[in-house]
Structures are given as C-alpha cells and as structure tokens.
Chains A and B, each alone.
Chain A
Amino acid sequence: MNLRPTPSEERWLTLSRRLRRSPRVIPFAAHSGGWRTANLPSRCTFFVLGLVAAGMIAIITGRLWPTGAVVVAGLVSLAIAEWLIVRRRHFGSGIEEAFEVAGLAMLAYECWTHVGPSESAGASLLGTALAIAGIRLLNPLFTTLAVLTFLLALKAPALIEGLLCYGVGLAALAAGAYRFRRPSHDLVLDSLVVVMPLAGYLWSASPHNLWSPADYLHAHLSVWLVPLCSVLFAAVALTTGLRRRAHAPLVAFMVCVACTAYELRKLTGLSLETRLIVWGCVLLLVSMTFERYLRAPYRGITSRPLRDDEDSARVLGIAGGAVLTPHSPPPKGAPPFEGGGGRFGGGGASGEY
C-alpha cells in the first residue's frame, strides 16, 4: 500500500506533464505507478468541488448529530481524502487535497473550541493542520500557508515578522540549490521564494499603513528598512535566478520590484496618473528591449517561448484583454440603464469620468 507516489513515480508524472503526454500510456504507465493527476484548470475545479462537498458533509453531520458534528465531518472528509489517495491513487488532483485540508481544518477548529478563544492558539492549530496537509500531500500552497500562519501565531512586532518572512524566503532560495529527487520539493521551495518576500513587505509596511506611505524624504533611517529589505531580496533573487536559470527567483524579483515601487510611490511627488503612465511606459520599454535583444539567446537565455502555451495559458491570454477593456461612460444627461427592462441593444456598461 503506497501512501504517495515514490520519488521515481513522481518524476515520471512530472515528465509526462512536461512533454504533454498521457501518464496512462506506454512507456509512462510503466513508471508512474497508476497515479492520477490533473492539470491546472481541472485541479482548481476539483478543489472547489471538494471544498463544497466537505462543506455539505459538515452541514449533513450538523443536522444528524448536532454535538460533535465538526469532528465527525472532519473525520469523514479525511477518510474520503485518504481513500482517494490510497485506493484511487490521486496525487495533485485537487479533490483529495480539498477533502484533506478541509478535514484537518475542521479538526483544528474543534481543538480550538476546547483550547479557548486565543487568536494565537487558533493560528497555531490552523498552521499545524495546513502543515500536516502540506507535508502529506507535498502541496506547495498548503505548506506556504502553514508557514504564514505559524508566523502570524508568533504575534511578534510587525517589522520582526516581516524580517522573519524575508529570512524564510532567503532560506528557501538557498535550499533551492540542493538537487532534490522529488519535483514537488522544488515546487514547495519555489512557492516560499515567491510568496515570502511579498508577505514580508506587507507585514513590515503595515505599521505606517499601506494606503498612506511614509514621507521618506524626512523619515528616520529605520523606516527605510521596509523598501531596503525588498530591494536586497530583489537583488539576491535576480542574481540567483540568472545564475541557476530558475523561474521562481525571477518572479520573486519582479514581486519585490513592484513592492518597492509601491512603497516609494510618494518619493517623486508626481500625481498618481502620471506615475502609472510613466512607470507603465518604462516597464513596457524595458520589457520590449529585453524581448528584442534576447530573441537570439545570450548565454542561453532567450525571450522566445520554448514550449507551446498550455490550454489554461491561452484562456488567460484571451481573458486578459477583456479584463482591461475600459468601462464606457453614459453621456451626461442620458437615461441610465435599467436592468429588467430587456431593451435589446440598450444598456451598456457604466462608469463615470
């Protein structure tokens, strides 16, 4: 009885996904141990369906056994998750992940009601549930959320929490140099590398309110620590990403640059719209320059795609243009659109200038 794929089976599953082949056909079937995975759109849908199902189980048990319903629902959800993993051989399919995390969260909640209404205890219990789910399922999302929840449970000053986040991010960045057998270990570290600097910024920036930034021209040196940490992490991530040819540190670099730009937004004294347009144009020009000069690889780094877009990436591309389409305004004095009238061709999007 295998509780999860062996490292070798996991590697073959990853390879079949990378080569866009089915893991159920020869020669992949001979190596992947019959484990079943799902690609991103299906995995997300399965996850949502699993969460809804776990919620319904909680409602049903609540109606049948009002006392101890959460424990029963949690245990039933966990049993379903383990059955899906052990018997049906689901790995990274979404549905078993939803049942597992929902079941553990319900048990953690039940424990919390017995421990007492302490926020710190609640965060520790939730963190433990997420950590167990993350380690059991080798899931990067749950593992990262567990780290964040444990940091929340520390109840340390915001700047310390922020620095701890950066520390975890740096540790993950350093650990990324190690050659793991399991691809999922890399994914866990990648997730920490991308999320922790963002969490670090949000935590350390919160004392002086994210919405009204500090006056950096007249600020104390310690206040500069907030953007400085982001800049330092960005520099380390960029160097590491380019040296190792890894995507996660490069994404972390982009996240840190965005955080720094946001934090120092008042430094130039420009209005919001000018900053958006100017920095947008700068980003556009820099991206286009890199795209142009890296068409021919420079030390192996290229701006050309080396794999075809996945189905989900194509859908995101289509949705991207639609999401940015501006709302069109009704002219001054024009009657507003009335829902329910059913006027063909009428209505229109709203918005105001």
Chain B
Amino acid sequence: MHSLEEELRELRSAGALDEGTTARALALERRTVFSIFEELRAALYAAVALVVTGVGILVKEHLDRIGPLTLIFALALAAGACYIPAIRAHSRRSARSPGADYLLLLGALIVSADLGYAESQFHWLAENWSRHLLLLSALHAFTAYALDSQLVLSVALATFAGWFGIERGPGSITAWEFATPALGLRALLCAGVILAWRAIDQRTNAARFREVFEHFAANLAFWGVLGWCSDAHLRFIGVPALLILAAVAIRTALHSGTESFAVYGVGYTALGLSLVIAQITGLTLVGATLVLGIVLTAAAALRHLHDLLKDARP
C-alpha cells in the first residue's frame, strides 16, 4: 500500500493546491474516508443484467405455461414498480440515488422486453412490426427527459438504432459482418438523426445529454463508414467519408477536451485505412509496409493529441 501524503504536502506548501483540496486528497491517501461507490455500481449493473437475462429466458421458455396476457401484465407491473423510486425522487425534487437510477434502467429494459413480446404475440402493427421499436424509443426518450436519466436515454438510442436495422451482437461488431453497404448507409442515417436530436437537445435542454448523443452518433457513423470502406465498390466514398469523420471527431475532442473522440478519430481511421490496404494488396511487402506506416502515423497523431489535451487541463 503506497501513500502519496508527502507529495501532497509538498504541493500544498508550494501553493499548487488549496487547503480544501489538500485535506480531501490527504483523507483519501490516509484512507480515513473510503468510497465503495464503484463496487456498488458494478454490483447494481450486474444485478440488472441478471434480472433482464432471467426475464428474457422466462418470456422465451414459459409462454405456454403462464399465458401471454398474464406474462405481459406481470412484466408491466414489475416495470412499473421499478419506476416508482425515480418518480418519487423527481416529485420531491431530490437527487436520485445510484440504486434508483439502476432500478429505473431495469424498469426500462423490462418495458422493452414486455412490449417486444406483446408485439410478437398480438401483431398490433402487422407488417409494420418494427415500428414498435420506434414507439419504445419514444417512450424511453420521454422517460429519460422527464426523469433526467442518461442510462434510459442510452436504451432509447439503442432501441432507435434497432429500428434503423442496426443490430447489436457479435455479428455486427466485426467490420466484415457489419459491412453491407445498406447497413452502412442506415448507420450513417441513424447517426445523422441522433445529431439532429442533439442539436434540438442543445437548444431546449441545455445540452444535458450532449455526451450520450455524441458518443452514440460517433460510433454509429464510424461503423457505417467502415462498412463502406470494406466494400470494393463503395471504397471511393468510404475513405473520404472516413477522413472527414476523423477530422470532425478530432475537432470535437479538441473543442470539448474529451479524449475519447480523439481515440475514435484516430483509431477508426487507422482501422479503416488498414482494412482498405489489406484488401487491395493482400498484405504483400508493400501492403504491410503501408499498414505499418498508417499505424505508426496514427500512434504519433494520437500521442500528439493526447499531449495537447493534457496540456490544456488546468
């Protein structure tokens, strides 16, 4: 167990830290205060994951035994109960605890499972069945805004991406599986709509959810363009689009000071360009040298951006 007390005292005596910050930092180093916030957050997330997986299996396995109406009603009731602590905190205008936050997430996920199951049983939307995802997304977005929850907004955006036909799963994670041109276009369109949504949010909601929108839009757009890059006929659009997106991501990183966007801008671009080179040359001597050049340039660029962003800190 190391302790950085002597360095903190040196900083304080040099006037680099104020008294309050020094006292808090010293308390942490001496472990007179100790937070188990991260451990509890991990446990809450694991609990939500367990319950949602259990509900998924329940819906799949026990349809005949329980009956659709009973199951739909029971799930709705459970979801409703999960919303109560968040609604109570909101009506009292008090800050919501992390526990209530994750309970709200659980409620939203149960609602998703419930409505999806109901649609699969009763075909309310017939051949337009996929629109239930749009309805779900709207419902989650409403909840996220009404109760000010980033977690529920991320569920809303994931459901919205699902409506666009962008499936989450191992198949869509690898660029090669993801890489149909149509899917790439849908991912880009989805990213565009999310960015438009972000612009509205910025005007009407003081950009409270700016970060969530930007991370979703960036990842979707990059995956879409990677899809184009890996297609022999769309490469000529894919590569310029990738470079433009990289420039936008890096500009966002420098503007907001968020390093993740620099990582997206450099990482995805290196991946896309290496993919194109590997496909064209088949990793011959020239191909491997080019990929090596791309990777080393990307590393140098990311290092430079990292230093710039770090130096910009107080």
Contact = CB atoms under 8 A, between A and B. Distances in A.
Interface in A197-245: 244-245
A326 B130 contact: no
Contacts of A6: none
B26 to A, nearest CB: 12
Contacts of A26: 16
A333 B123 CA distance: 10
B314 interface: yes
A1 interface: no
B35 A302 contact: yes
Contact of B164 (A183, A246, A292, A345): A345
Interface stretch (B3-11, B197-205, B232-240, B243-251): B3-11
Contact of A291 (B25, B56, B97, B274): B97
Contacts of B292: 53, 56-57, 60
A177 B154 contact: no
A321 B123 CA distance: 27
A311 B259 contact: yes
A246 B1 CA distance: 9
A181 B155 CA distance: 44
B120 A24 contact: no
A276 B54 contact: yes
Contacts of A328: 112, 116, 119, 132-133, 136, 159, 162
A56 B274 CA distance: 11
Contacts of B123: 331-334
Interface in B132-183: 132-134, 136, 150-155, 157-159, 162-169, 180-183
A340 interface: yes
B267 A45 contact: yes
Contacts of A348: 129-130, 133, 162-163, 165
B28 A326 contact: no
Contacts of B36: 250, 290, 294, 301-303
Given A301-B34, A348-B163, A350-B167, A21 B130 contact: no
A276 B37 CA distance: 24
Nearest to A58: B288
A297 B288 CA distance: 57
A337 B165 contact: yes
Contacts of B152: 321
A272 B50 CA distance: 11
A24 B154 CA distance: 36
Contact of B169 (A11, A327, A352, A353): A327
Interface in A249-283: 250-251, 254, 258, 271-277, 279-281, 283
A46 interface: yes
Contacts of B62: 273
Interface residues of B, number: 126
Nearest to B298: A49
A273 B105 CA distance: 19
A39 B4 contact: no
Contacts of B53: 276, 280
Interface in A306-353: 306-307, 311-312, 314-315, 317-335, 337, 339-350, 352-353
Contacts of B279: none
Interface residues of A, number: 120
A118 interface: no
Nearest to B258: A311
A39 B25 CA distance: 20
B70 interface: no
Nearest to A257: B43
B266 A45 contact: yes
Nearest to A258: B46
Given A305-B35, A340-B180, A24 B307 contact: yes
Interface string B41-52: 011111111111
Interface string B94-124: 0001110011011001001100110111010
Given A63-B285, A180-B2, A345-B163, A322 B32 contact: no
Interface in A25-42: 25-27, 31, 36, 38-39, 41-42
Contacts of B51: 276-277, 280-281, 284
A302 B283 CA distance: 54
B183 A339 contact: yes
Nearest to A95: B299
A330 B120 contact: yes
B158 A321 contact: yes
Contacts of A335: 127
Nearest to B106: A284
A333 to B, nearest CB: 8
A295 B94 CA distance: 14
B58 interface: yes
Given A21-B313, A177-B1, A290 B40 contact: yes
A15 interface: yes
Instruction: Select the residue from A38, A335, A349 with max chain B CB neighbours within 10 A.
Output: A349
A318 B215 contact: yes
A49 B169 CA distance: 24
A39 B199 CA distance: 30
A308 B164 CA distance: 35
B59 A353 contact: yes
Contacts of A180: 1-2
Given A279-B50, A300-B32, A353 B117 contact: yes
A294 B33 CA distance: 12
17 contacts: A15-B4, A22-B313, A45-B266, A258-B46, A272-B57, A275-B54, A280-B51, A291-B40, A292-B99, A303-B98, A322-B158, A324-B155, A328-B132, A328-B159, A342-B185, A348-B129, A350-B167
Nearest first, the 8 closest Cβ-Cβ pairs linking A and B are: A347-B165, A276-B54, A280-B50, A321-B154, A280-B51, A288-B99, A277-B54, A342-B182
Given A95-B299, A276-B57, A279-B50, 15 more contacts: A11-B2, A15-B11, A52-B295, A56-B289, A56-B291, A179-B1, A273-B55, A315-B215, A327-B162, A329-B120, A332-B120, A334-B123, A334-B129, A345-B130, A346-B165
